[in-house]
Chain A
Amino acid sequence: MSRPLRKLLDKAGMAVCVLLLVSPALLFFLWMLSLSLKFEIDNGAYPPILIPDRFAWKNYTTIFEGNSFLLYFWNSLIVTGAATLFALVVGVPAGYGIARMKAHKSAVVIMIARMTPGLSFLIPLFLLFQWLGLLGTLWPQIIIHLVVTVPIVIWIMIGYFETTPMELEEAAMVDGATRWQIFAKVALPIAKPGIVVAFILSVIFSWNNFVFGIVLASRETRTLPVAVYNMLSFEQVSWGPLAAAALVVTLPVLILTVAAQRQIVAGLTAGAVKGG
């Protein structure tokens, strides 16, 4: 066989391999999109239809009409935003402190926290929130999401600050800068990529969290994953709007994943964290 032909065949074989690898994910999300854009008749058709003759755009408008979906979207935004911001405020300095003190053993607590099932945090905190009279507000969810976001941020930031060079900081120290000045002016700017990774992962895992919401959320304080789940269980909803709602909930995350795949991969393989 001639060399160019062989090379071409190799390339083609590789392409088929890769296509095979990506297809479970690709086909699934395509099917999700297809379900969300079909009328009930087409969704019940046999054999199934991938691309319908007419698109049911109304599936998307109905979910925003009847189900306080905008309120739930807003709730999700508040809970994820607050829990992530707070985690960054306390977690980035903590990661810096732990890395500089070389107190690696303290990271064990963070690791065990990651191993602990979310439900075992839920029972005591649920009782605490009940006792404090916070149920019915968004506070319980914001606070309990810290269980997810704070360990992610600390974990990633420890790893990041350990790799940043000490020379600049030592030079600043010789010049008489205080610890906080060094942190704010020298260490923090260098750590920006690490902060971005921590931010993205914290946002995704908080946004996706479901288990805290089903226990702590009332009718007005549901986050999106809980709202979508409730659509399934309590209302006679047809597949189209349900798939549309599911897609709307996860779309921000999917866009973030494709746009920031480099940072996500870096963060996941560095600490291999997962929330919840």
Chain B
Amino acid sequence: MSILTSSDRVAGAASVGRTKRLRPSYWPFVVPALIVVIGVIVFPWVFTLWMSAMEWRIGEEQRFVGLQNYARLFTDVRFLEAMLHTVVYTALSVLAPLVLGTAAALAFNTKLPARGLLRGIFVMPMMATPVAIALVWTMMFHPQLGVLNYLLSLVGIGPLQWVYHPSTVILSLVLVETWQWTPLVMLIVLGGLAALPTEPYESAQIDGATAWQRFRYLTLPMIKPFLMVAVIIRTIDALKSFDILYTITQGGPGTASETINLYLYSVAFTYYDIGYGSAIAVVFFVLIIMLSLILLYLRQRSAWNTGDGQ
């Protein structure tokens, strides 16, 4: 809230000094949305922070415990394991779509017949209802009846246990996440490719550069800012991933695929430990914001670097 009001005041003050008549106050346009945002977004943030300092279980007396809930996190093995799962899951779910999405964008960046329809089909996975596709993936992962093990048997691999074994469950879930979100990376990179100048490629052609050299030394540096955007968005979304994980494994087998988000859900809505759940929510929130800021900073730097280099 403070960010919103202070920056608006700055903007408002500046406009009053300059062109009062031409730039009247637009506050009335913003107020209804402001009320909604305060009610459903800012209030929950503040309230969560307050609850995280309480011993608060549904149906019991609440009492103030200060930072005790946060201290508990450091000795909670299940939380620390969830943290590890989240890091592994997120890293893979950023990397795989990034590589595949960039490759897809390069292929899509040519004139194709029926490009619109193809693009429509290609983006379907990320727009489809996650629960619905998760159900179908669950059936496909089935060790005996699933189609995936059949396909693997055709090339002489398997059978795998997929999401039914602790050692393969996270990789299997990353496969789903990659299938779902590679299109988004492609769209972002495609935006970058559309803005590329043609001259460097013409001179590279004259110099006899190979396709790989053109990609490595021309395309890649120039689309780097777009790749960074893709990394940021992918990181945030992979960290927050819930529907797919909850529907397919619920964190199982055991707790082998339990991420922070899933653990948070269990603590808050299975054990109804609201205070501790809120503390996890706060830590999770801070983690996401910090990572985003770091990535934004890196993006800024990479943008400058490519700017200097040209």
Contacts and interface: CB of A to CB of B under 8 A. Distances in A.
Interface in A87-129: 89-91, 93-94, 96-98, 100-106, 108-110, 112-128
A97 B26 contact: yes
Given A208-B130, A268-B184, A117 B242 contact: yes
A254 B281 CA distance: 33
Nearest to A98: B30
A12 interface: no
B135 A228 contact: yes
B208 interface: no
Nearest to B243: A210
B233 A272 contact: yes
Interface stretch (B70-78, B88-96, B111-119, B214-222): B111-119
A239 B43 CA distance: 43
Interface string B88-125: 00000000000000001001101010001111111111
Interface string B196-225: 000000000000000000000000000000
A170 B19 CA distance: 12
Interface string B176-202: 000100011001101100000000000
A25 B284 contact: no
B32 A90 contact: yes
Interface string A247-276: 101100110111101101100110010101
B197 to A, nearest CB: 20
B305 to A, nearest CB: 22
A97 B27 contact: yes
27 contacts: A14-B112, A18-B107, A25-B122, A47-B150, A86-B36, A90-B33, A97-B30, A105-B3, A106-B30, A116-B41, A117-B239, A117-B284, A120-B44, A120-B264, A121-B40, A123-B268, A124-B48, A170-B22, A211-B246, A214-B246, A226-B131, A247-B132, A249-B129, A249-B131, A261-B119, A269-B191, A276-B242
Contacts of B110: 14
Contacts of A207: 129
A128 B40 CA distance: 10
Interface stretch (A52-60, A62-70, A143-151, A190-198): A143-151
Interface string B10-45: 111001000001111111111011101100111111
A116 B285 CA distance: 6
A257 B123 contact: yes
A120 B33 contact: no
A152 interface: no
A76 B259 CA distance: 28
B121 A28 contact: no
A143 B22 contact: no
Contacts of A14: 107, 110, 112
Contacts of B183: 25
A124 B132 contact: no
Contacts of A228: 131-132, 135
A8 interface: no
Contact of B37 (A25, A93, A96, A150): A150
Lowest 4 CB-CB distances: which A-B pairs, in order? A97-B29, A94-B33, A105-B7, A97-B26
A229 interface: yes
A224 B239 CA distance: 25
B251 interface: no
A96 B29 contact: yes
Given A24-B179, A117-B242, A121-B41, A249 B127 contact: no
A147 B44 CA distance: 10
Given A97-B29, A109-B41, A269 B128 contact: no
A199 B261 CA distance: 28
A225 B134 CA distance: 11
Contacts of B26: 96-98, 100-101, 179
Contacts of B240: 115, 117-118, 276
Given A25-B121, A94-B30, A268-B187, A146 B40 contact: yes
Residue of B12, B121, B277 ringed by the most chain A CB atoms within 10 A: B121
A246 interface: yes
A35 interface: yes
Contacts of B289: 112, 115
Interface in B127-173: 127-133, 135-136, 138-140, 144-145, 147, 150
A256 B12 CA distance: 40
Contacts of B269: 122, 126, 215
